[in-house]
Amino acid sequence: MHPAAGEESRQLQGLGVLVTRPEHQADALCQWIESHGGHAIRCPALRIVEPRDWRPALALFARLTDYDLLIFTSANAVDRTLPHITERGGFPVRLELAAIGQATARALARHGIDRCLRPEQDFTSEALLALPRFQQVAGQAIAIVRGEGGRELLADTLRSRGARVDHAEVYRRERPDIAIEPLLERWARGDIGAVIATSGETLSNLFDMLGAAGQHYLCQTPMIVVSTRTVQAAAKLGCHHLLLAQEASDAAIAAALLRLAAHPSLSVGNAT
Which among 186, 237, 177 is positioned nearest to 18, based on CA atoms? Answer: 186
Residues in the chain: 272
Give tens-digit pLDDT for 118-130: 988 777 889 999 9
Options 3.30.460.80, 3.40.630.20, 3.40.190.10, 3.40.50.10090; CATH of 49-173: 3.40.50.10090
User: Which is more confidently placed, 20 or 102?
Assistant: 20
Residue 209 near residue 175, CB atoms below 8 Å: yes
The predicted pLDDT at position 134 comes to: 97
> Is pLDDT above 50 for 66?
yes
- Structural element, H or E, at residue 75: helix 75-86
The model's pLDDT over 195-238, given as tens digits with 9 standing for 90+, comes to 999 999 999 999 999 999 899 999 999 999 998 889 999 999 99
| Closest C-alpha among 85, 93, 94, 97 to residue 59 | 85
Beta bridge partners of 174: 47
Answer whether 8-46+176-262 and 49-173 agree in fold: yes
Residue 246: the pLDDT is 85
| Strand duo 223-225 + 194-197: pairing | parallel
Return the CATH number of 8-46+176-262, one of 3.20.20.150, 3.40.50.850, 1.10.10.10, 3.40.50.10090.
3.40.50.10090
Please check whether residue 99 is in contact with residue 116, taking contact to mean a CB–CB distance below 8 angstroms: yes
Domain ranges of the chain: 8-46+176-262, 49-173
